[in-house]
Amino acid sequence: MSPGSALPSIGDVSSPSSILIIGAGVFGQIILVDPCLPSTPSSSESWIPNPNSSSIDTSRIIRPDYKNALYALLGAEAQRKWRQGFPSQATKVYWECGLCVTANEKGNEYVQEARNNVEASVGGARRIQGLKDSAEIRKTMGLEQQEAETDEVGRTGYVNWGSGWADAEGAMKGVMVQIRRLAEKGRKLHFRRGKAKRLLYEKAENVHKDGGNIAKNKEAKRKSSRIIGTMLEDGTHVVADLTVLATGAWTSSLLDLRGRVDATGQLLAYVPISVAEAQQFASMPVLLNLSTGFFLLPPARGCISPGDTEMRWHIKLARHAFGYRNPVPLPSDMLESPVSNSDENGQGDVVSLPHRDYQTLPPAAVHALRRFLSSLIPSLASRSFASTRICWYSDTANGDFIVDYHPEYERLFIATGGSGHAFKFLPVLGDKLLGVLERRGEEGLRNLWQWPEKKDGVWGTEDGSRGGERGLILEQERRRGGASRL
């Protein structure tokens, strides 16, 4: 779409004069940066940026190493932009140090197919080096050798020297700078801070305009209803012709997504290191063990605690797992039927949403991270963590995003379900989202991200890249001591 052109017909609105974007994470911010949307007034409602968003972090893995060929191609396209200096030539946010993709057993399907997809890309094969055992993995990582094989580094895999990591918070701040500059150049953007309490529903036949304002506003049931905006916690109504819901792991607080999206908490820990240790491990590639989900990123310098202003050297440990759930009652105004009972595992009329305590890890999680660190870098094993965090993913059953119009609510566009891997596509994601919004774009991605069928019993993402135990409840695990069950 060129500047000044109209969006497609949305319900009975042929060209929406206002778009409300709820959320300021990856999906919410990047769709604003695309130069094809300058003539459409927009509102952005959320923390800018949300400090608890999964995209606000010192480092995130950047890779085209995917079992799914479409994500591999999208990753390669995004990576070209990262290399070119996205989002700003003035500030470096991307480092290409290599990525060791490993598994604990030979013939791991995800590892092999990811390698095949990378090797099939232009120039991909020359950057790949096979790793036949844990000794080769340790040598490539620059780690001390151990007499016995360990599951922590993996026993087979490959290194892709064309992958790396990005300063996620720095990149997101760079995107916000671009958005602010667009506003300064005349793009009609209005930013609001606050918390969206609920969506505003209206029966389709009752909606009409009066002097540019919605004359009637009452909640309606799903069928034959449309979304006209949101109500904030302070009672303020923010209305628009089209609402884009891009609220990540918090989406289920506004829309019933049971069986489609599940918020899962993932482990992060930051190990402080000296300048000398940062130099010692400077050439270390990223390690990702797809059998356990544990991964390690090389030294980075950044703010590692909420509200921290001091830039500190650290090594980041984390886990890409099935994660923890935090079951809470589903708001009654989103239910299609009366509230029913739910069991202790969070089944029934409940959803998983991020817990308000983002820092406290369960004892078993700390034990598991210590074991992982001890296996890789014994000299750091007893060092206190500088900070820990529960990072909340918006997981779908298969790891595919949901980027589509809601099939029952008119004027509602969904952009969520990042499943812990949307950030790496940031440089090209805005154009892809806008393509779906305009009902154009690449057919493969439109099909991949279309509104999914409801799937009962979803416990995180089952795409072959996750490790750990399924069905863990965060508060139960925080109360439980002992060795790791992860």
Q: What is the pLDDT of residues 151-163, one digit of tens each?
A: 699 999 999 999 9
Least confident of 87-96, 179-188, 243-252: 179-188
Predicted local distance difference test score (pLDDT) of residue 31: 87
What pLDDT, in 10s, does the model give residues 374-388? 999 999 999 999 999
Residues in Cβ contact with 208 at an 8 Å cutoff, skipping those fewer than 6 apart: 215, 216
192: closest CA among 306, 330, 302, 47?
47
Cβ neighbour number for residue 193 with a 10 Å cutoff: 11
Highest mean pLDDT among 54-58, 64-68, 182-186: 64-68
Concatenate the DSSP letters of all residues of 437-485 into one string. Answer: HTT-S-HHHHHHTSPPPP-TT--S--SS--BS-SSEEHHHHHH--SS--
Instruction: For residue 297, name the pLDDT band (cuts at 50, 70, 90).
Output: very high
Contact 300, 313 (CB under 8 A): yes
Whether the predicted pLDDT of 12 surpasses 70: no
Concatenate the DSSP letters of all residues of 169-207 into one string. Answer: HHHHHHHHHHHHHHHHTT--EEEE-S-EEEEEEEEGGG-
Whether the predicted pLDDT of 213 surpasses 60: no
More confident residue, 317 or 17: 317
Whether the predicted pLDDT of 440 surpasses 60: yes
Strand ranges inside 305-349, DSSP E:
312-319, 324-325, 327-329
Across residues 26-32, what is the average pLDDT? 90
Q: How much of the chain exceeds pLDDT 90, in percent?
A: 63
313: closest CA among 285, 278, 276, 268?
278
What is the spatial distance between Cα 369 and Cα 388, in angstroms, rounded to a whole number?
11
Predicted local distance difference test score (pLDDT) of residue 482: 57
How would you class 259 by CB atoms within 10 Å of its CB: exposed for 0-12, middle for 13-18, buried for 19 or more? Answer: middle
What pLDDT, in 10s, does the model give residues 106-132? 768 999 999 999 999 877 788 999 999
Q: CA 274: distance to chain centroid?
A: 30
Whether the predicted pLDDT of 221 surpasses 80: no
Instruction: For residue 48, name the pLDDT band (cuts at 50, 70, 90).
Output: low
Residues in Cβ contact with 297 at an 8 Å cutoff, skipping those fewer than 6 apart: 59, 61, 165, 286, 315, 316, 318
What is the spatial distance between Cα 168 and Cα 438, in angstroms, rounded to a whole number?
28
More confident residue, 249 or 187: 249
Contact 434, 1 (CB under 8 A): yes
More confident residue, 467 or 360: 360
What pLDDT, in 10s, does the model give residues 57-86? 889 999 999 999 999 999 999 999 999 999
Place of tokens 């029913």: 340
> Which tokens hold the place of 431?
């154009």
The whole-chain average pLDDT of the chain stands at 85
What is the spatial distance between Cα 37 and Cα 33, in angstroms, rounded to a whole number?
8
Predicted local distance difference test score (pLDDT) of residue 150: 61
Q: Which amino acid is at 171?
A: A
Contacts 24+ apart (CB under 8 A), 15-18: 16/40, 16/240, 16/241, 16/242, 16/411, 17/41, 17/241, 18/42, 18/43, 18/239, 18/240, 18/241, 18/242
Contact 225, 410 (CB under 8 A): yes
Looking only at the bridges linking them, the beta strands covering 189-192 and 472-473 are unpaired
Whether the predicted pLDDT of 35 surpasses 60: no
Least confident of 13-17, 24-28, 227-231, 268-272: 13-17
Residues belonging to the chain? 486
Whether the predicted pLDDT of 284 surpasses 70: yes
